[in-house]
Structure 1
Protein backbone atom coordinates (compact mmCIF):
# COMPACT_ATOMS: atom_id res chain seq x y z
CA UNK A 1 0.00 0.00 0.00
CA UNK A 2 1.15 3.53 -0.81
CA UNK A 3 0.81 6.26 1.83
CA UNK A 4 1.64 9.87 1.05
CA UNK A 5 2.36 12.10 4.04
CA UNK A 6 3.77 11.15 7.43
CA UNK A 7 1.82 13.48 9.65
CA UNK A 8 -0.04 12.08 12.65
CA UNK A 9 -2.73 10.50 10.47
CA UNK A 10 -0.32 8.98 7.96
CA UNK A 11 2.04 7.64 10.62
CA UNK A 12 -0.79 6.10 12.63
CA UNK A 13 -2.19 4.43 9.52
CA UNK A 14 1.18 3.20 8.29
CA UNK A 15 2.18 1.85 11.70
CA UNK A 16 -1.08 -0.07 12.05
CA UNK A 17 -0.76 -1.56 8.56
CA UNK A 18 2.80 -2.68 9.25
CA UNK A 19 1.67 -4.29 12.52
CA UNK A 20 -0.88 -6.23 10.47
CA UNK A 21 1.91 -7.56 8.26
CA UNK A 22 1.18 -5.31 5.27
CA UNK A 23 3.87 -3.94 2.98
CA UNK A 24 3.83 -0.12 3.08
CA UNK A 25 5.61 2.43 0.92
CA UNK A 26 5.47 5.81 2.65
CA UNK A 27 6.29 8.95 0.65
CA UNK A 28 7.24 12.12 2.54
CA UNK A 29 9.06 15.25 1.39
CA UNK A 30 10.24 16.29 4.88
CA UNK A 31 13.74 14.86 5.29
CA UNK A 32 13.52 14.83 9.09
CA UNK A 33 10.32 12.76 9.05
CA UNK A 34 11.78 10.34 6.53
CA UNK A 35 14.75 9.70 8.81
CA UNK A 36 12.53 9.47 11.89
CA UNK A 37 10.36 6.67 10.52
CA UNK A 38 12.85 4.91 8.22
CA UNK A 39 13.47 2.07 10.68
CA UNK A 40 9.89 1.53 11.85
CA UNK A 41 8.06 1.36 8.52
CA UNK A 42 8.58 -1.04 5.62
CA UNK A 43 9.80 1.51 3.07
CA UNK A 44 10.08 5.29 3.46
CA UNK A 45 11.05 7.47 0.51
CA UNK A 46 11.82 11.17 0.43
CA UNK A 47 9.98 12.65 -2.56
CA UNK A 48 7.50 15.34 -3.54
CA UNK A 49 4.29 13.49 -4.45
CA UNK A 50 2.78 16.64 -5.95
CA UNK A 51 5.17 15.94 -8.85
CA UNK A 52 3.58 13.21 -10.96
CA UNK A 53 6.96 12.23 -12.46
CA UNK A 54 8.30 11.55 -8.96
CA UNK A 55 5.35 9.25 -8.29
CA UNK A 56 5.87 7.47 -11.59
CA UNK A 57 9.52 6.82 -10.74
CA UNK A 58 8.40 5.30 -7.44
CA UNK A 59 5.96 3.03 -9.28
CA UNK A 60 2.84 4.55 -7.75
CA UNK A 61 0.85 3.41 -10.78
CA UNK A 62 1.49 -0.21 -9.78
CA UNK A 63 -0.32 0.14 -6.44
CA UNK A 64 -3.99 -0.79 -6.21
CA UNK A 65 -4.54 1.36 -3.10
CA UNK A 66 -3.06 4.70 -2.07
CA UNK A 67 -3.82 7.01 0.83
CA UNK A 68 -3.27 10.77 0.78
CA UNK A 69 -2.52 11.73 4.37
CA UNK A 70 -1.44 15.29 3.58
CA UNK A 71 -3.56 17.58 5.69
CA UNK A 72 -1.74 20.82 6.42
CA UNK A 73 -2.01 22.11 2.84
CA UNK A 74 -5.21 21.67 0.85
CA UNK A 75 -3.36 22.57 -2.33
CA UNK A 76 -0.75 19.85 -1.81
CA UNK A 77 -3.42 17.33 -0.85
CA UNK A 78 -5.39 18.01 -4.04
CA UNK A 79 -2.30 17.89 -6.27
CA UNK A 80 -1.20 14.55 -4.82
CA UNK A 81 -4.71 13.12 -5.14
CA UNK A 82 -5.03 14.27 -8.76
CA UNK A 83 -1.71 12.66 -9.60
CA UNK A 84 -2.75 9.33 -8.10
CA UNK A 85 -6.09 9.39 -9.89
CA UNK A 86 -4.38 10.28 -13.18
CA UNK A 87 -1.94 7.40 -12.70
CA UNK A 88 -4.89 5.02 -12.55
CA UNK A 89 -4.61 3.90 -8.92
CA UNK A 90 -7.71 1.79 -8.37
CA UNK A 91 -8.55 2.96 -4.85
CA UNK A 92 -7.48 6.44 -3.78
CA UNK A 93 -8.26 7.35 -0.17
CA UNK A 94 -7.73 10.93 0.99
CA UNK A 95 -7.89 12.77 4.29
CA UNK A 96 -9.98 15.95 4.28
CA UNK A 97 -9.79 18.71 6.88
CA UNK A 98 -13.21 20.21 6.13
CA UNK A 99 -16.29 19.72 3.93
CA UNK A 100 -15.04 22.02 1.16
CA UNK A 101 -11.77 20.09 1.00
CA UNK A 102 -13.69 16.82 0.92
CA UNK A 103 -15.92 18.06 -1.90
CA UNK A 104 -12.89 18.97 -4.02
CA UNK A 105 -11.28 15.58 -3.40
CA UNK A 106 -14.48 13.81 -4.42
CA UNK A 107 -14.87 15.86 -7.58
CA UNK A 108 -11.34 15.19 -8.78
CA UNK A 109 -11.94 11.47 -8.54
CA UNK A 110 -10.94 10.24 -5.07
CA UNK A 111 -12.81 7.05 -4.34
CA UNK A 112 -12.89 7.45 -0.56
CA UNK A 113 -12.70 10.66 1.50
CA UNK A 114 -12.29 10.50 5.28
CA UNK A 115 -12.66 13.19 7.94
CA UNK A 116 -10.61 11.87 10.87
CA UNK A 117 -10.93 14.96 13.09
CA UNK A 118 -14.69 15.18 12.57
CA UNK A 119 -15.21 11.45 13.03
CA UNK A 120 -13.12 11.47 16.21
CA UNK A 121 -15.17 14.39 17.54
CA UNK A 122 -18.45 12.55 16.90
CA UNK A 123 -17.14 9.43 18.61
CA UNK A 124 -15.83 11.25 21.68
CA UNK A 125 -19.08 13.23 22.00
CA UNK A 126 -20.99 9.96 22.38
CA UNK A 127 -18.49 8.64 24.91
CA UNK A 128 -18.67 11.83 26.98
CA UNK A 129 -22.43 12.36 26.82
CA UNK A 130 -23.62 8.76 27.20
CA UNK A 131 -22.81 5.69 29.25
CA UNK A 132 -20.70 4.30 26.41
CA UNK A 133 -17.17 2.93 26.50
CA UNK A 134 -16.72 2.86 22.72
CA UNK A 135 -18.77 3.90 19.71
CA UNK A 136 -18.49 3.22 15.96
CA UNK A 137 -20.92 4.80 13.53
CA UNK A 138 -21.65 3.39 10.08
CA UNK A 139 -23.85 4.64 7.23
CA UNK A 140 -27.52 5.60 7.67
CA UNK A 141 -27.02 6.41 11.37
CA UNK A 142 -26.41 2.77 12.31
CA UNK A 143 -23.80 2.15 15.00
CA UNK A 144 -22.23 -0.37 17.36
CA UNK A 145 -21.42 0.59 20.94
CA UNK A 146 -19.60 -0.97 23.86
CA UNK A 147 -21.09 -0.13 27.25
CA UNK A 148 -21.95 -1.26 30.75
CA UNK A 149 -25.47 -2.70 30.94
CA UNK A 150 -28.34 -0.42 32.02
CA UNK A 151 -29.91 -1.35 35.35
CA UNK A 152 -33.11 -2.84 33.94
CA UNK A 153 -31.26 -5.61 32.08
CA UNK A 154 -28.90 -6.63 34.91
CA UNK A 155 -29.62 -10.08 36.31
CA UNK A 156 -31.86 -10.99 33.41
CA UNK A 157 -31.34 -13.06 30.30
CA UNK A 158 -31.45 -11.56 26.81
CA UNK A 159 -34.77 -13.33 26.27
CA UNK A 160 -36.21 -11.84 29.46
CA UNK A 161 -35.13 -8.22 28.92
CA UNK A 162 -36.10 -8.23 25.20
CA UNK A 163 -33.83 -5.34 24.12
CA UNK A 164 -34.93 -5.48 20.49
CA UNK A 165 -38.65 -5.14 21.13
CA UNK A 166 -38.34 -2.79 24.13
CA UNK A 167 -35.43 -0.57 23.06
CA UNK A 168 -34.99 -1.28 19.31
CA UNK A 169 -31.39 -2.43 19.84
CA UNK A 170 -29.63 -5.78 19.70
CA UNK A 171 -27.21 -7.05 22.34
CA UNK A 172 -24.80 -9.00 20.15
CA UNK A 173 -21.89 -9.69 22.49
CA UNK A 174 -21.04 -9.85 26.16
CA UNK A 175 -17.82 -9.90 28.19
CA UNK A 176 -18.00 -11.04 31.81
CA UNK A 177 -15.15 -9.85 34.06
CA UNK A 178 -11.93 -11.75 33.36
CA UNK A 179 -13.41 -13.59 30.38
CA UNK A 180 -13.28 -13.02 26.61
CA UNK A 181 -16.16 -11.64 24.57
CA UNK A 182 -18.70 -14.18 23.33
CA UNK A 183 -21.90 -13.99 21.31
CA UNK A 184 -25.05 -13.20 23.28
CA UNK A 185 -27.64 -15.97 23.17
CA UNK A 186 -31.29 -15.77 24.31
CA UNK A 187 -30.38 -17.60 27.52
CA UNK A 188 -27.31 -15.40 28.25
CA UNK A 189 -27.61 -13.69 31.63
CA UNK A 190 -26.23 -10.16 32.07
CA UNK A 191 -24.23 -9.36 35.18
CA UNK A 192 -23.64 -5.90 36.71
CA UNK A 193 -19.95 -5.81 35.76
CA UNK A 194 -20.36 -7.29 32.30
CA UNK A 195 -19.49 -5.27 29.23
CA UNK A 196 -22.01 -5.56 26.40
CA UNK A 197 -21.79 -4.89 22.65
CA UNK A 198 -24.98 -3.33 21.32
CA UNK A 199 -26.03 -2.49 17.76
CA UNK A 200 -28.79 -0.25 16.47
CA UNK A 201 -29.59 3.20 15.17
CA UNK A 202 -27.74 6.02 16.91
CA UNK A 203 -30.73 7.59 18.68
CA UNK A 204 -31.91 4.19 19.94
CA UNK A 205 -28.43 3.40 21.25
CA UNK A 206 -28.27 6.77 22.99
CA UNK A 207 -31.63 6.19 24.67
CA UNK A 208 -30.62 2.68 25.69
CA UNK A 209 -27.31 3.90 27.13
CA UNK A 210 -29.07 6.71 28.98
CA UNK A 211 -31.65 4.31 30.40
CA UNK A 212 -29.52 4.16 33.49
CA UNK A 213 -27.99 6.57 36.00
CA UNK A 214 -24.89 4.36 36.30
CA UNK A 215 -21.52 6.07 36.01
CA UNK A 216 -18.31 4.55 34.72
Structure 2
Protein backbone atom coordinates (compact mmCIF):
# COMPACT_ATOMS: atom_id res chain seq x y z
CA UNK A 1 0.00 0.00 0.00
CA UNK A 2 1.37 3.40 -1.00
CA UNK A 3 -0.15 6.66 0.17
CA UNK A 4 0.62 9.91 -1.61
CA UNK A 5 0.72 13.36 -0.17
CA UNK A 6 -2.03 15.81 -1.21
CA UNK A 7 -2.64 15.26 -4.89
CA UNK A 8 -1.90 18.79 -5.94
CA UNK A 9 1.56 18.69 -4.39
CA UNK A 10 2.44 15.28 -5.81
CA UNK A 11 1.14 15.94 -9.29
CA UNK A 12 2.99 19.24 -9.61
CA UNK A 13 6.26 18.04 -8.10
CA UNK A 14 9.20 17.62 -10.45
CA UNK A 15 9.79 13.93 -11.02
CA UNK A 16 13.45 12.87 -11.07
CA UNK A 17 14.62 10.82 -14.04
CA UNK A 18 14.93 7.05 -14.00
CA UNK A 19 18.70 7.34 -13.47
CA UNK A 20 18.47 9.81 -10.57
CA UNK A 21 20.57 9.12 -7.48
CA UNK A 22 18.85 7.65 -4.43
CA UNK A 23 19.72 8.20 -0.79
CA UNK A 24 18.57 5.30 1.41
CA UNK A 25 18.47 5.98 5.14
CA UNK A 26 18.40 2.88 7.33
CA UNK A 27 19.76 -0.58 6.55
CA UNK A 28 17.14 -2.73 8.19
CA UNK A 29 15.56 -5.47 6.10
CA UNK A 30 13.51 -3.02 4.03
CA UNK A 31 16.23 -0.43 3.47
CA UNK A 32 18.99 -2.96 2.82
CA UNK A 33 16.91 -4.89 0.29
CA UNK A 34 15.93 -1.68 -1.48
CA UNK A 35 19.48 -0.30 -1.56
CA UNK A 36 20.96 -3.60 -2.76
CA UNK A 37 18.41 -3.88 -5.56
CA UNK A 38 18.99 -0.32 -6.70
CA UNK A 39 22.73 -0.98 -6.70
CA UNK A 40 22.26 -4.15 -8.78
CA UNK A 41 20.21 -2.12 -11.24
CA UNK A 42 23.13 0.25 -11.68
CA UNK A 43 21.53 3.20 -9.89
CA UNK A 44 23.62 5.78 -8.08
CA UNK A 45 22.75 4.88 -4.49
CA UNK A 46 24.16 5.81 -1.10
CA UNK A 47 23.04 4.07 2.09
CA UNK A 48 23.17 5.86 5.43
CA UNK A 49 23.22 3.91 8.70
CA UNK A 50 24.26 4.74 12.25
CA UNK A 51 24.46 1.18 13.62
CA UNK A 52 28.12 0.04 13.45
CA UNK A 53 27.08 -3.62 13.22
CA UNK A 54 24.95 -2.99 10.14
CA UNK A 55 27.70 -0.87 8.64
CA UNK A 56 30.10 -3.79 9.08
CA UNK A 57 27.57 -6.22 7.59
CA UNK A 58 27.13 -4.18 4.42
CA UNK A 59 30.61 -2.73 4.10
CA UNK A 60 32.07 -3.60 0.70
CA UNK A 61 28.65 -4.67 -0.59
CA UNK A 62 27.01 -1.26 -0.86
CA UNK A 63 28.11 2.36 -1.15
CA UNK A 64 27.44 3.51 2.39
CA UNK A 65 28.35 5.96 5.10
CA UNK A 66 28.04 5.76 8.87
CA UNK A 67 26.09 8.78 10.08
CA UNK A 68 23.14 9.79 12.24
CA UNK A 69 20.55 11.11 9.80
CA UNK A 70 18.45 12.56 12.63
CA UNK A 71 21.18 15.22 12.72
CA UNK A 72 20.55 17.71 9.92
CA UNK A 73 24.21 18.77 9.81
CA UNK A 74 25.26 15.16 9.24
CA UNK A 75 22.99 14.95 6.19
CA UNK A 76 24.46 18.14 4.79
CA UNK A 77 28.00 16.88 5.32
CA UNK A 78 27.40 13.58 3.52
CA UNK A 79 25.95 15.40 0.51
CA UNK A 80 22.27 14.54 0.91
CA UNK A 81 21.37 17.64 -1.13
CA UNK A 82 22.88 15.99 -4.20
CA UNK A 83 20.25 13.22 -4.21
CA UNK A 84 16.90 14.05 -5.82
CA UNK A 85 15.30 10.95 -4.29
CA UNK A 86 15.48 9.82 -0.66
CA UNK A 87 14.00 6.77 1.03
CA UNK A 88 13.58 6.72 4.80
CA UNK A 89 13.70 3.04 5.70
CA UNK A 90 13.73 3.59 9.45
CA UNK A 91 10.52 2.26 10.93
CA UNK A 92 11.09 0.85 14.40
CA UNK A 93 11.75 4.29 15.92
CA UNK A 94 8.93 6.69 15.11
CA UNK A 95 10.91 9.63 16.48
CA UNK A 96 13.93 8.89 14.28
CA UNK A 97 11.74 8.33 11.24
CA UNK A 98 9.99 11.67 11.72
CA UNK A 99 13.21 13.59 12.40
CA UNK A 100 14.96 12.16 9.34
CA UNK A 101 11.99 12.88 7.10
CA UNK A 102 11.72 16.43 8.44
CA UNK A 103 15.44 16.98 7.83
CA UNK A 104 15.08 15.85 4.21
CA UNK A 105 12.08 18.15 3.75
CA UNK A 106 14.10 21.06 5.13
CA UNK A 107 16.90 20.22 2.69
CA UNK A 108 14.42 20.49 -0.16
CA UNK A 109 14.70 16.87 -1.34
CA UNK A 110 12.43 16.72 -4.43
CA UNK A 111 11.03 13.23 -3.79
CA UNK A 112 10.83 11.55 -0.39
CA UNK A 113 9.61 8.00 0.20
CA UNK A 114 9.16 6.94 3.81
CA UNK A 115 8.39 3.63 5.50
CA UNK A 116 5.61 3.54 8.09
CA UNK A 117 4.62 0.79 10.49
CA UNK A 118 1.12 2.07 11.28
CA UNK A 119 -1.56 4.32 9.85
CA UNK A 120 -0.83 6.93 12.53
CA UNK A 121 2.86 6.85 11.69
CA UNK A 122 2.04 7.27 8.02
CA UNK A 123 -0.22 10.28 8.63
CA UNK A 124 2.53 12.03 10.57
CA UNK A 125 5.05 11.42 7.77
CA UNK A 126 2.63 12.83 5.21
CA UNK A 127 1.89 15.88 7.29
CA UNK A 128 5.54 16.81 7.64
CA UNK A 129 6.14 16.48 3.90
CA UNK A 130 6.83 12.89 2.75
CA UNK A 131 5.64 12.53 -0.83
CA UNK A 132 4.98 8.77 -0.61
CA UNK A 133 4.42 6.56 2.42
CA UNK A 134 4.77 2.78 2.15
CA UNK A 135 3.69 0.02 4.53
CA UNK A 136 5.93 -3.00 3.70
CA UNK A 137 4.73 -5.26 6.53
CA UNK A 138 1.06 -4.60 5.81
CA UNK A 139 1.56 -5.12 2.07
CA UNK A 140 3.45 -8.39 2.55
CA UNK A 141 0.79 -9.76 4.88
CA UNK A 142 -2.07 -8.78 2.58
CA UNK A 143 -0.32 -10.27 -0.46
CA UNK A 144 0.35 -13.61 1.25
CA UNK A 145 -3.26 -13.76 2.45
CA UNK A 146 -4.45 -13.56 -1.15
CA UNK A 147 -1.94 -16.16 -2.32
CA UNK A 148 -2.86 -18.77 0.29
CA UNK A 149 -6.61 -18.40 -0.25
CA UNK A 150 -6.85 -19.83 -3.78
CA UNK A 151 -4.88 -20.83 -6.87
CA UNK A 152 -3.09 -17.50 -7.24
CA UNK A 153 0.66 -17.52 -7.85
CA UNK A 154 1.16 -13.76 -7.62
CA UNK A 155 -0.98 -10.78 -6.67
CA UNK A 156 -0.46 -7.07 -7.38
CA UNK A 157 -3.11 -4.64 -6.17
CA UNK A 158 -2.74 -1.30 -7.92
CA UNK A 159 -5.42 1.12 -6.73
CA UNK A 160 -9.17 1.53 -6.28
CA UNK A 161 -9.64 -2.24 -6.13
CA UNK A 162 -7.95 -2.90 -9.49
CA UNK A 163 -5.65 -5.92 -9.35
CA UNK A 164 -3.43 -8.01 -11.60
CA UNK A 165 -2.91 -11.68 -10.72
CA UNK A 166 -1.00 -14.70 -11.96
CA UNK A 167 -2.79 -18.01 -11.41
CA UNK A 168 -3.42 -21.56 -12.58
CA UNK A 169 -6.53 -21.94 -14.74
CA UNK A 170 -9.70 -23.46 -13.19
CA UNK A 171 -10.74 -26.85 -14.53
CA UNK A 172 -13.69 -25.45 -16.48
CA UNK A 173 -11.29 -23.54 -18.77
CA UNK A 174 -8.99 -26.47 -19.60
CA UNK A 175 -8.94 -27.23 -23.31
CA UNK A 176 -11.03 -24.23 -24.28
CA UNK A 177 -10.09 -20.92 -25.86
CA UNK A 178 -10.49 -17.61 -24.03
CA UNK A 179 -13.53 -16.89 -26.18
CA UNK A 180 -15.11 -20.29 -25.54
CA UNK A 181 -14.56 -19.98 -21.79
CA UNK A 182 -16.51 -16.68 -21.58
CA UNK A 183 -14.39 -15.71 -18.57
CA UNK A 184 -15.10 -12.00 -18.80
CA UNK A 185 -18.84 -12.50 -19.33
CA UNK A 186 -19.21 -15.03 -16.51
CA UNK A 187 -16.82 -13.63 -13.93
CA UNK A 188 -16.13 -10.00 -14.87
CA UNK A 189 -12.34 -10.41 -15.11
CA UNK A 190 -10.07 -10.05 -18.13
CA UNK A 191 -7.45 -12.53 -19.36
CA UNK A 192 -4.42 -10.43 -20.29
CA UNK A 193 -2.18 -13.29 -21.33
CA UNK A 194 -1.42 -17.00 -21.21
CA UNK A 195 1.98 -18.60 -20.61
CA UNK A 196 2.38 -22.30 -21.45
CA UNK A 197 5.17 -24.17 -19.59
CA UNK A 198 8.56 -23.44 -21.15
CA UNK A 199 7.01 -21.10 -23.69
CA UNK A 200 7.09 -17.30 -23.89
CA UNK A 201 4.22 -15.19 -22.60
CA UNK A 202 1.62 -14.29 -25.20
CA UNK A 203 -1.13 -11.70 -25.04
CA UNK A 204 -4.50 -13.37 -25.02
CA UNK A 205 -7.00 -13.18 -27.86
CA UNK A 206 -10.39 -14.85 -28.20
CA UNK A 207 -8.67 -17.77 -29.95
CA UNK A 208 -5.94 -18.32 -27.32
CA UNK A 209 -6.23 -21.86 -25.95
CA UNK A 210 -6.00 -22.53 -22.20
CA UNK A 211 -4.51 -25.80 -20.98
CA UNK A 212 -4.25 -27.22 -17.46
CA UNK A 213 -0.54 -26.48 -17.01
CA UNK A 214 -0.72 -22.93 -18.34
CA UNK A 215 -0.33 -19.80 -16.26
CA UNK A 216 -2.96 -17.10 -16.67
CA UNK A 217 -2.41 -13.37 -16.21
CA UNK A 218 -5.69 -11.62 -15.38
CA UNK A 219 -6.85 -8.17 -14.35
CA UNK A 220 -9.96 -6.82 -12.74
CA UNK A 221 -11.70 -6.07 -9.47
CA UNK A 222 -10.00 -7.70 -6.48
CA UNK A 223 -13.18 -9.34 -5.18
CA UNK A 224 -14.09 -10.78 -8.58
CA UNK A 225 -10.58 -12.14 -9.10
CA UNK A 226 -10.70 -13.78 -5.67
CA UNK A 227 -13.97 -15.51 -6.59
CA UNK A 228 -12.56 -16.70 -9.92
CA UNK A 229 -9.39 -17.99 -8.24
CA UNK A 230 -11.48 -20.14 -5.91
CA UNK A 231 -13.11 -21.97 -8.82
CA UNK A 232 -12.21 -25.70 -8.73
After TM superposition, the score normalised by the length of structure 2 is 0.89
Distance 2:123 2:215 in 1: 39
Aligned to 2:55: 34
Distance 1:30 1:82 in 2: 21
Aligned to 2:205: 185
Q: Which has the higher contact order (CA 8 A, sep 6+)?
A: 2
The correspondence of residues 172-211 of structure 1 with structure 2, limited to 5 A, is 172-211=192-231
3-state SS in 1 of match to 2:207: coil
Selected match of 1:5 from 14, 17, 26: 26
Structure 2 regions of 5+ residues with no counterpart?
A: 1-21
Distance 2:187 2:110 in 1: 42
Distance 2:224 2:77 in 1: 52
1:78 and 2:108 correspond? no
The total of aligned residue pairs comes to 211
Selected match of 2:178 from 151, 158, 161: 158
Aligned to 1:14: 35
Deviation >4 Å, runs of 4+: none
Shift in Å at residue 164 of structure 1? 1.7
Selected match of 1:56 from 48, 63, 76: 76
Selected match of 1:148 from 168, 191, 194: 168
Greater shift, 170-179 or 107-116, is seen at 170-179
CA RMSD of aligned residues (A): 0.9
Shift in Å at residue 180 of structure 1? 2.3
Shift in Å at residue 71 of structure 1? 1.2
Aligned to 2:15: none
Distance 1:198 1:138 in 2: 13
The correspondence of residues 89-128 of structure 1 with structure 2, limited to 5 A, is 89-128=109-148
Q: Over residues 72-119 of structure 1, what are the superposed CA-to-partner deviations in whole Å (9 max), with x where a residue is unaligned?
A: 100000000000111111110000001110010011010000000001
Distance 1:115 1:180 in 2: 33
Distance 2:46 2:147 in 1: 35
Distance 1:40 1:174 in 2: 38
Selected match of 1:25 from 12, 37, 46: 46
